[in-house]
Amino acid sequence: MKKALLALPILALISLLVSGYLLAPKDQDLITAALRDSTAAAAKGEPSDVLRYLSKSFTYGGEATSTYDISKVIHNAKPKITIIETKANIKGETATVQTPVDVQLNYMGLDINQTIPKVTIELKKETGFKWLFVPEPRWRVVSVSAESLPNY
């Protein structure tokens, strides 16, 4: 009887882990959700929701950017960013999205409303946890670069 009582929670835990693995969303769906959720949070001026989708090694235009600077711009400017195409080229643990991006913001008296024709967003698959112990894949933005950015 004691063995059966001990086996029950172990079986429940194993079934939870297996079901989490089998029912996990596809990588493309996770990437699309990460891009959608982070741009929606930026438009609301919520930097914490944007930062959770950025990798700790995030770079912009090849240069490291501090999370404080990113938070400050998001909070003050509330940029409305529309990523036109979220289809990613996935290779193992990395993915690349090349897309035009519409940007609207007002920061420090400077109005920006334009479409940047070719933006490259690089993402990396990292492991997070849900329910504190169940591993869950997450795609985080590692770098953003763009051709022909205007000099402001």
- CB–CB of 101/116 below 8 Å? yes
* Fold observed for domain 23-146: Nuclear Transport Factor 2; Chain: A, (3.10.450)
Residue type, 11: L
> Would you state the pLDDT for residue 119?
92
Q: Report how far residue 147's alpha carbon sits from residue 120's, in angstroms, rounded to the nearest whole number.
A: 9
Write the pLDDT tens digit of every residue in 64-108: 888 888 888 888 888 999 999 999 999 999 999 999 999 998 888
DSSP 89-102: EEETTEEEEEEEEE
Question: Can you say how many angstroms the Cα of residue 83 is from the centroid of all Cα atoms in its chain?
Answer: 13
pLDDT per residue over 39-61, tens digit each?
Answer: 999 999 888 878 888 887 788 87
Beta strands (DSSP E) in the chain are: 54-60, 63-64, 80-83, 89-91, 94-107, 110-130, 134-146
